[in-house]
Amino acid sequence: MSSGEETTDSQIKVSVCVVTYNQEEHIRQCLQSIVDQVTDFNFEVLVSDDFSKDSAREIISEFQKKYPSIIKPIFHKENTGAFKNYISTHRVAIGDYICHIDGDDMMCVGKLQKQASFLDENPDCSAVAHKMSILVNNRIVGLTKDNPEKLDARYLLLNHPCFLNSSIMYKRVCGNEFLSCEENIIDFYLYVALAKNGFIGFINQPLGQYSKGVGISAGLKLMPFIQQAIDLAATYLPDRKIIGRARARQYRSYAVASLGIGDYEKFKLYIVLMRQSHYGFLNQLMARVLGFSPKMTLFLDRVYKNIREWAKSNG
């Protein structure tokens, strides 16, 4: 629908949730890419600014004046943090489908229509994501990876990260579990919660642009939050082997990260946890090799990832 048309709350099919903090360099392009979407349904745009100290609020207000029937600003009176900003915005969304985008990313032409149509046509899916172009200094340097058309929790656990948060659109009725969270979570927890209610669809086409390295949570320590998501999956997945493999995979990543900053004590701890989390032969062998020679770990990790990517690309 044209962004200038008057709508009522009952007519809103999609709520677009935009979270931003000190993103004056990007928020204008982000919002313009949303209001320029052409759809056969009405949508609202909730723009939640977490007490920015730059001119982001002025830009948002400018858009609200220009598109009063679609842009709905939320101006926090103090900085609440990335998670609270995110979750409070999604909680007030009224659309049947909720779409998320960070204030430094952009939508491509046709994104909202294609994702909403996908969810309309796939009742077995609780959400849908898509590929994104990767921007560095406003230049496209690559694309995020391909995925199957429908992902389940097992795939998410063993292939994380599968997609970027600015590509997700989910059914509001499937979001109750994470929308009721009071403790901090990350997007991976959201995906695992959604996968409890159905597949997550995937469109192997770049429908958005991601600004690499300028995200709100770029420096967030993710390790305990990823384990939190795996713990959630363990409450509804009966396959203990999958849970064990997922934990082992994350502990390997933690071990490598610890080694990268010279923390050998944590490196040793994560190697031990890796050995304890899954009893498969290859996992045990990898844990022993990594623990035996820390200096070789970074090299072996790169080799392992290259072989894994080669195997995927060659079917």
Domain that holds residue 207: 9-211
Say if 2 falls within a structural domain: no
Residue 48 has a CB neighbour count (10 Å cut-off) of 24
Q: What is the pTM of this model?
A: 0.85
State how far the Cα of 283 lies from the Cα of 291, in Å rounded to an integer.
12
Which band of pLDDT confidence, cut at 50, 70 and 90, is reported for residue 266? confident
Counting the structural domains of the chain, the total is 2
Residues 178 and 300 occupy one common structural domain? no
Cα of 36 vs its chain's centroid, Å = 23
What local confidence, expressed as pLDDT, does residue 103 receive? 96
Which band of pLDDT confidence, cut at 50, 70 and 90, is reported for residue 311? low
Residues 78 and 193 occupy one common structural domain? yes
Mark 85-106 as b/e (b = at least 16 C-beta within 10 Å).
bbbbbbeebebbbbbbbbbbbb
Residues 263 and 120 occupy one common structural domain? no
Q: What percent of the chain has a predicted confidence (pLDDT) above 70?
A: 82
Which band of pLDDT confidence, cut at 50, 70 and 90, is reported for residue 3? very low
Give how far Cα 257 sits from Cα of 163, 250, 261, 298, 304, Å. Answer: 21, 10, 7, 9, 15
Say if 220 falls within a structural domain: no
Say if 224 falls within a structural domain: no
Which residue, 110, 109, 114, 108, is CA-closest to 135? 108
Q: What percent of the chain has a predicted confidence (pLDDT) above 90?
A: 62
Residues 107 and 44 occupy one common structural domain? yes
What local confidence, expressed as pLDDT, does residue 284 receive? 56
Average pLDDT of the residues of the chain: 87
Residues 160 and 251 occupy one common structural domain? no
Say if 229 falls within a structural domain: no
What local confidence, expressed as pLDDT, does residue 4 receive? 42
User: Mean pLDDT over residues 7-29, rounded?
Assistant: 90
What local confidence, expressed as pLDDT, does residue 299 receive? 63
Residues 169 and 299 occupy one common structural domain? no
Say if 226 falls within a structural domain: no
Residues 135 and 242 occupy one common structural domain? no
Tokens 């579990």 -> residue: 177
Say if 97 falls within a structural domain: yes
pLDDT tens-place string over residues 73-115: 999 999 999 999 999 999 999 999 999 999 999 999 999 999 9
What local confidence, expressed as pLDDT, does residue 279 receive? 52
Say if 258 falls within a structural domain: yes
Residues 189 and 94 occupy one common structural domain? yes
pLDDT tens-place string over residues 214-261: 554 433 477 888 999 999 999 999 998 899 889 988 888 887 777 777
* CB distance 21 to 84 below 8 Å: no
pLDDT tens-place string over residues 148-204: 999 999 999 999 889 999 999 999 999 988 998 888 888 999 999 999 999 999 999
Residues 176 and 271 occupy one common structural domain? no
Residues 192 and 266 occupy one common structural domain? no
Picking from 211, 229, 257, the residue at the C-terminal end of a domain is 211
pLDDT tens-place string over residues 102-112: 999 999 999 99
Say if 269 falls within a structural domain: yes
Picking from 150, 176, 211, the residue at the C-terminal end of a domain is 211
Residues 137 and 260 occupy one common structural domain? no
> Which CATH number is 188's domain given?
3.90.550.10
